[in-house]
Amino acid sequence: MKNFFPSAQSGLQKIKNSKQIWATIIIGILIIGSFIFVVLNFVNVARDAQDRLSRVRLDSIQSSFVNFANEYLEKGYNLEDLQDTIQKIVIENPNISEFKIVNFDDADRPQVIFSLNKSEIGSYDLENETIYNFAKVNKNSSPIAELLIENERVLKGARVITDDRGKVVGAVLTTLLPSQADTIINREINNSIFIFVLVVILILFLFFRHSRIIDYSTLYRKIKETDQMKDDFISMASHELRTPLTVIRGYAESLNESGEMNEVQKKSANRIEVAAKQLDDLVNDMLDVSRLDQGRLEINMEKVDPIEHVKENIAGFMKVAEDKGLKLEYINEIEGNISINADTDKLRQVIVNLVGNAIKYTKEGDVNVKTSIVDGDFELRVSDSGIGMSSEEQKGLFKKFHRIKNEETQEIRGTGLGLWITKQIVELMGGTITVESIKGVGTHFIVTFPQVR
């Protein structure tokens, strides 16, 4: 109960401030109101139609029987014929609960001469004298009264029997129980109530679900706004960092080339240049991530010779590999010239990322770069004899900010963005990238692009 009232107040405040919820409530009320109106109208129409049908049936039964009864009273048919006729009528109309014939004595009192209840024969039916009097006034129709007896609705009608001269010689009284029709109507009412309850529950469910969707949409909008602010900040910060980084790298290069420093100073200047280069790479990665997330990374596709670009970019790593004691080798198995569609700058970025990673994660041994044609496609394979990866470590390899953390990688710097960016760029250029690796043996990265004929 402690949390109920604050939650209720919060919900009411939400309803008050949300046009969507108000619209949902109004629509719900209109649907419920319309449903109630339709159900009540249907029940009333059905009941009226059933009553009219019962009255017509009662009048028809009495009209058909009066002619026979008239002949019976005037010509004196035997009682068995009368009983057979009445039994047939009752069988065909199981809703008949009372059927009797009366004649009127000198005092104009109705005396029962036949009844389904044989104990009434010979007695005076004073209980129904009023309806007999109505029947005498309306000789050509059957006055019908609707009564409630022991909580059960009954229709009671009377029709006079006249002789050839039009003199009233008797009357027929019939009581009809429309219970079967009432049962059907009540069942339909109960079914309607059940459906109505289901509709209300469904509306309430949709209402609360709609409220949650509004909460989710509000939360999603806030997340999008926060994400946009983050992207804007990264973009701004990255651009603002590039200018001072360029200056730092420029001065570090000038110091290294001046030749006026001792060994300690040269090492310090070299460290400044390396650190500035690492920071510049990080800034470039952040810019690429921001552009990729926002779909703003420009890809200028053109027909290029991939072998030429591979050779050119590998040459820049020869000194780096040599300084680390590694052998960097390029093997070209393609005869002649081939072409692929790619962005030259982005293709260079892919090659640099993969070869740079191979050198970074290989302590000793070889790094091999091979180009070949496999199943008609151009394939670039960068392999190393480095630390390798287990199948579990490979699962999140191309995810953003994913880094393998173990004793062998803890001293290796990285953001976990390089391979994610590489995969995005390769796929944007219509290629694919996969990995094959064995822990402690090495890793192969395979990039493929369709040939352009």
The secondary structure of 278-339 as a DSSP string is HHHHHHHHHHHHHHHHHT------EEE-HHHHHHHHHHTTHHHHHHTTEEEEEEE---S---
**What is the per-residue pLDDT for 160?**
83
Measured CA to CA, the distance from residue 121 to residue 127 in angstroms comes to 14
Of 203-217, 239-253, 289-303, 417-431, the one with minimum mean pLDDT is: 203-217
Higher pLDDT, 269 or 347: 347
What is the per-residue burial (b if ≥16 Cβ within 10 Å, else e) of 47-67?
eeebbeebbebbbebbeebbe
DSSP type of residue 116: S
**What is the per-residue pLDDT for 46?**
66
Amino acid at 359: I
Please count the other Cβ atoms lying within 10 Å of the Cβ belonging to residue 347. 23
Measured CA to CA, the distance from residue 450 to residue 436 in angstroms comes to 21
pLDDT at 140 over 70: yes
Measured CA to CA, the distance from residue 189 to residue 53 in angstroms comes to 20
Higher pLDDT, 297 or 302: 302
Measured CA to CA, the distance from residue 10 to residue 431 in angstroms comes to 52
Higher pLDDT, 172 or 21: 172
Work out the average pLDDT over 176-189.
Answer: 67
pLDDT at 392 over 60: yes
63: Cβ contacts below 8 Å, ≥ 6 apart: 142, 159
**What is the per-residue pLDDT for 76?**
58
Helix or strand or coil: residue 150? coil
pLDDT digits (tens, 9 = 90+) for 406-415: 666 666 766 7
Domains of the chain: 25-176 (3.30.450.20), 186-292 (1.10.287.130), 299-450 (3.30.565.10)
Work out the average pLDDT over 301-328.
Answer: 89
Please count the other Cβ atoms lying within 10 Å of the Cβ belonging to residue 213. 13
- Residue 280 belongs to what H/E stretch? helix 263-294
**What is the per-residue pLDDT for 81?**
66
Measured CA to CA, the distance from residue 396 to residue 383 in angstroms comes to 19
pLDDT at 128 over 90: no
User: Contact at 8 Å (CB) between 207 and 24?
Assistant: yes
Higher pLDDT, 360 or 59: 360
**What is the per-residue pLDDT for 210?**
64
HSE-CB at 78 with a 13 A cutoff on CA atoms is: 3
Q: Identify which of 418, 444, 399, 127 has the alpha carbon closest to the alpha carbon of residue 286.
A: 418
Work out the average pLDDT over 117-127.
Answer: 87
**What is the per-residue pLDDT for 50?**
63
Measured CA to CA, the distance from residue 12 to residue 22 in angstroms comes to 11
User: Contact at 8 Å (CB) between 334 and 361?
Assistant: no
- Angle between helix axes 344-360 and 418-428 (nearest 10 degrees) is 150
User: Contact at 8 Å (CB) between 449 and 342?
Assistant: yes
Measured CA to CA, the distance from residue 431 to residue 297 in angstroms comes to 16
Q: What is the largest CA-CA distance in the chain?
A: 154
pLDDT digits (tens, 9 = 90+) for 198-243: 877 777 677 666 666 666 667 777 877 777 776 677 667 666 776 7
User: Contact at 8 Å (CB) between 401 and 416?
Assistant: yes
The first and second tokens of residue 330, run together, are 């390029």
Work out the average pLDDT over 179-197.
Answer: 69
